[in-house]
Amino acid sequence: MRVRLPRVYTINKKVEKNSIRQVASPEFEIEANIVRFAVEGAVGYEVSAEALPFRVLVLRDAPRDLTALNDAAVLKCSATLGDDGTLDAVTGTWLQHSSQPAAPNASLDASAKSAIASWRGAFRYVLEDRAADVVGLRPPQAGALHAIHAHWSTSNEVASVVLPTGTGKTETMLGVLTSTPCERVVVVVPTEALRTQIAEKFLTLGLLKAHRSNILAESAQFPVVGLLEHSIPTVEGLAAFFSACNVVVTTSHIAAKMTLECQAHVAELCSHLFIDEAHHAEARTWKQFKAQFEKRRVLQFTATPFRDDDKQIDGRIIYRYPLRQAQRDGYFRPITFRSVFEFDPRKADRAIAEATISELDADATGLHVAMARAYDISRAEQVFKIYEEIGRYSPVLLHSRLTASERREALAKLASRASRIVVCCDMLGEGFDMPELKIAAFHDTRKSLPVTLQLAGRFTRARADLGDATFIANIADPGVKGDLEKLYSQDPDWNELLPDLSDSQIDNQIDSRKFLEGFEPFSGEIPIQEIRPATSMVVYRTRCSVWKPKDFRKGIQGVKASDKVRHTVNESENMLVVVVGSSKGVSWTDIEAVQDWQWELLVAIWDKERELLYIHGSSKSGEYRTLAKALCGEDVELIRDPELYRCFHGVKRLLLTNLGMNEQFGRKIRYISRMGADVASQLSEKSKRTARRAVISGIGFEQGGTATIGATKRGRVWSFQRLRLESFARWCRHVGKKVIDKDINPEDVLNGTLIPKLVKQRPAVMPIAIEWPDSIYQDQESVFSVKLGEHGVKSDFWDLELKLVEPSETGELRFRIASESMEIILRLEIIPVADDSVSTYRFVQEGEPGILRRRMKAWTLAEFFDENPPQIFFADGSYLEGNLLVTLPDTYAPFDASRIEIWDWSKVDIKKEAQGATREKDSIQYKVIEDLKAANRYDLIYDDDGSGESADVVGIKVTEEDARTTIAVDFYHLKYSQDSVAGGRVGDLYEVCGQAQKSISWLQNQLRHTELFVHLLRRDPKVRKGVALSRYQTSDRDMLVAIRNQSRTAALRLRVFIVQPGLSRAKVSPEQLSLLSVTENFLLETYGVPFGVIGGA
């Protein structure tokens, strides 16, 4: 027979609703003799065993007279002896036990001190040996303990310990407590569930006091543990509570609710602060509490020392146990990833649910529990209905809006295996401990790497009887960005990817930390990692061999004794950071006691290689000349116009957004500033002769991406960014390299600048294309849809075509938004107003209004375009946005006619463009596809013809070189001829050149790179007249899925070809060559896209 008995408490009391407990002996299970027993007023069982120094009476009710049973321990419990001979009395309550004091402990402080005394010399570094069945510390626990004590031998700086979930963070805390030993520890955790879990570990000392463990001596007592669940409002109350404890466990919420006085007093009472899940510790509620422990030892524990908001986690990483090592050592079990592929969200949910049921059916242990994760409560309820409809494994729903009893009932069903599926959103996070959770079904994917890693750890804990974990997700459109995209790809190996991603992120944190550690100690009020200067500076030429950052005070004028000045220097990076706080009077009173504090950030970087000094000042006031002299000597020289304007070098298609000029009127100089469309009025030939540029800023393209840049004649240069210090230093050096480059003529760098001009009517030039506003391309296509009328049929964005209607050199500018099933037509009206130099515009819809939706927000199409005008491109290279016209300042050389590639079109009807559902062999598209197949240049050829197409034909080739993947994409834009004979008709080129120019939308950002391949995946199959036809001309969907996944990290190289059999190289007209030149230069100057032309002889 066996009996399970509950733990015995030496202390078990409440102080202001908060419990204080100390275990005398933990719960245990032993072989025993069990016989029925009765005493006056109670019946039950008598338990005796050689291991028990006294008999134990397990009684259903309390006996009338306990004094008659002084020789026994008495337990009140309704448990009955099971058929297997087991008496499970672990839920009972001790009425009498020799280790339990007869009266409340009069001196709780004495118990806490006694526990500390018992730990001195009691800790042993016994290492686990699973082969020899030795219970001991795991390698990461022992390593962390040694690292912590090594750190404390030389420093009291905040320290971080990085241990993957499931490797024993809490046991490491217990080891620190008892091996130091710590006088008093406060442990702060993010959730109530984690508070309960960790408090339980401290109460029993976990592994340290486990059966057959020799880590702690037998004489070592259990700690007195306080569970701070309710705020204690007074300093006196906190002192009474904390003084009685060795360990207090609380949440960040409770800690943050304390007054500053109470927080400071807690820091006085405690020798150590432990922070669990330290990636939360940069939140405002945590930081204020942690700041009180500046003179105490602070340890932070986390599996993921990085955050989604890019904030640095304070503290040096003193020990890191890599996730890959945890896998090797068997603490992090393997993950099997099972994917479904479905773009329709409703079908995807069903497919994931069915895959989850299939995994439970295949579970040989019969113990696995599946978690179906949704984004929020409404989605969880929606997903829960699907599992209910399937009707297997009794699913339960868990979320924060359920009552406490409903949550307990659901958890009880999971614990008893009455249910093996739980549908939730964020209820099963930190602090939820169920090793049987082995199947994760992601109906909505986690959006961040830290949370994904934390969650993965819940499913990969090692236990011999449970096996490995399975993750299930829809990979068609996972909706994740960055590193997470690799996890939701075709056949991903999470066992390789998770440690790689974790190591990469932690390495970045360590590198960034090393940069920050190069600074001398800085103000605790303003952590150095929180400083993000705007990209703005002045640049000085220096002639010194060393700089003197410690002399900065000589260069800051007007600092009063009452001002606050904080500074730090990074010697290796030659960077000085200064923060100056000045008290200023307020406008509404002269009372000196009422002051306003104003703060200025100064950052100075000496670029020794280029002999330049960069100075940033957050107030942007002046040139900081005295500071420059103090740092680098009297002979410093401010770089100003015209040299400074070299910073614009390399920025292509610069569109001026601000232009300020000083105009000379006799002896007077008038400064006039123009912004937006008003810039054009400053650039007349007369003003160029009489004016000098004072301020210039704009937006353009540099190094294959968008760039903002601005400069003033007095020496300031800026960009619209805010960066970390290390990134700011890189930006400074990038600009500095340009401004001292003598090969750049500063007078030429603004040649070719694009000038927006307010117009009162459309230009008399042929429009060739219309493009969605840039704001559309900042998000995925899947978040947009269009309906014709409020109750019309919805069309997905990837099936929509935005196209000019009957374009001409004069008349209305009309365009349509069309799919295979609907068409909406709008027109642009430019309206002159009273002042002859001013106009406005509006978009008018013809017929029933179309509705554009972006997630939950809706506009009529006219309203949307009024706020976000589309770009209309013209044959001369100009474009119109609403009533703003941007024209090209230069005329390009004609396109070289010899570069027109001649194809044989003798078997093709050059007036027939698309191959259609029957793949007509005499069509232009069929000819192009077959020739590309024969050339065997591509891994995949795709027919994307139709409304919403990226191009008529897309060819894709993936190459690997020097461990770098490049995806080469060729767009072939096709256009039928207006005549059956090739010639020099410019009308044959208008539309196809417009399509070519629109191709750059896929290069606007990394998201759009991947969206191109998602776009292609969504559009298969091609449906014509009710016939579904595969768009894959070579290869298949699996290949395109693999390419999409590679696109998240690979380089994308785009080439654009136009195909017009009606274009004759021999008869090509000057108008055609001009239009081809405009198109080529547009593609090259924006994103460096090569351009090719295919025609006829």
In this prediction, residue 592 carries a pLDDT of: 65
Identify the pLDDT of residue 407.
87
What's residue 672's pLDDT?
A: 45
Global pTM reads 0.58
Residue 691 is predicted with a pLDDT of: 46
Average pLDDT over every residue of 468-493: 65
Q: CB under 8 Å to 906, separation ≥6 — which residues?
A: none
**Can you give the CATH number for the domain in which 316 is found?**
3.40.50.300
Tell me which of 194-198, 430-434, 955-959, 1041-1045 is least confident: 430-434
| Separation between Cα atoms, residue 817 and residue 825, nearest integer Å | 7
For 402, the enclosing helix (H) or strand (E) is none
Share of the chain above pLDDT 70, in %: 86
State the DSSP code for 461: B
- Say if CB 948 and CB 799 are below 8 A apart: yes
How much of the chain is helix, strand and coil, in % rounded to 5?
Answer: 30, 30, 40
Residue 522 domain-assigned? no
User: Both 126 and 91 in a single domain?
Assistant: no
Q: Which secondary-structure segment (H or E) carries 295?
A: none
Q: Quick one: 131 and 166 in the same domain?
A: yes
Do 54 and 142 belong together in one domain? Answer: no
Q: How confident is the model at residue 616 (pLDDT cuts 50, 70, 90)?
A: very high
Distant-in-sequence, close-in-space partners of 19: CB < 8 Å, separation ≥ 6? 12, 13, 226, 227, 229
Within this chain, do residues 693 and 565 fall inside the same structural domain, yes or no? no
CA–CA gap between residue 1044 and residue 576 (Å, rounded): 44
User: Does the residue 982 lie in any domain?
Assistant: yes
Whether 311 is in a domain gets the answer yes
E strand segments, 49-129: 55-59, 72-76, 86-88, 93-96
Checking if the pLDDT of 566 tops 60, the result is: yes
Confidence at 218, pLDDT banded by 50, 70, 90: very high
pLDDT tier at 677, thresholds 50, 70, 90: very low
Question: Residue 1076 class from Cβ within 10 Å (0-12 exposed, 13-18 middle, 19+ buried)?
Answer: buried
Please report the pLDDT score of residue 69 as a whole number: 85
Strands (DSSP E) found in 848-963: 850-854, 857-860, 871-874, 879-881, 884-887, 900-902, 940-943, 953-961
Residues 477 and 557 in one domain: no
Calpha distance 979→921 (Å, rounded): 19
Beta strands 691-702 and 705-712: pairing type?
antiparallel
Measured distance CA(32)–CA(1021) in Å, rounded: 72
| 879 and 968 together in one domain | no
In a domain, 892, yes or no: no
Q: Are residues 200 and 78 in the same domain?
A: no
pLDDT digits (tens, 9 = 90+) for 961-999: 876 789 999 999 999 999 989 888 999 999 999 999 999
In whole angstroms, what is the distance from residue 882 CA to residue 749 CA?
29
Evaluate whether residue 73 is within a structural domain. yes
- Token couple for 644: 């400074």
Report how far apart the first and last C-alpha atoms of the chain are (Å, whole number): 99
Mean pLDDT of 500-521: 63
- Give the residue numbers spanning the domain of 88: 2-96
Q: Would you state the structure tokens that stand for residue 156, as one six-digit string?
A: 């009291």
Encoded tokens for 926: 């069929």
423: exposed, middle or buried (C-beta count within 10 Å: 0-12, 13-18, 19+)? buried
Dihedral through CA 897, CA 900, CA 903, CA 907, nearest 10? Answer: -70
Query: Which pLDDT value is given to residue 682?
Result: 46
Boundary (domain end) residue, out of 321, 348, 378: 321
Pair 941, 1022 in one domain: yes
**856 and 805 share one domain:** yes
> Does residue 905 form part of some domain?
yes
Total tally of structural domains belonging to the chain:
7
Do residues 952 and 1074 both lie within one domain? yes
In the predicted structure, residue 339 carries a pLDDT above the cut 50: yes
Condensed to tens digits (0 to 9), the pLDDT of residues 638-674 reads 998 888 989 999 888 787 777 765 543 433 444 444 5
Tokens 């005008």, residue?
869
> Nearest CA to 720 among 745, 692, 697?
697
Distance separating alpha carbons of residues 403 and 1021, to the nearest angstrom? 48
How many CA atoms lie less than 13 Å away from 718 in the CB half-sphere?
18
Distances in Å between the alpha carbon of 916 and those of 670, 933, 1023, 1024, 1095? 65, 18, 9, 7, 22
Q: How far is CA 826 from the centre of its chain?
A: 38
Predicted pLDDT of residue 671: 44
Q: Are residues 150 and 279 in the same domain?
A: yes
Report yes or no on 373 lying in a domain.
yes
Between 217 and 746, the higher pLDDT residue: 217
Encode pLDDT of 360-373 as tens digits: 999 988 899 999 99
Mean pLDDT on 1065-1071: 95
Contact between residue 59 and residue 69 where contact means Cβ atoms under 8 Å apart: no
- Residue in the structure block whose two tokens are 């091609």: 1022
Q: Which residue, 703, 686, 813, is CA-closest to 761? A: 813
Residue 521 lies in a domain: no
Distance CA 252, CA 903 (A): 72
Say if residue 734 is in the same domain as residue 697: yes
Residue 545, classed as helix, strand or coil, is coil
Greater pLDDT, 286 or 721: 721
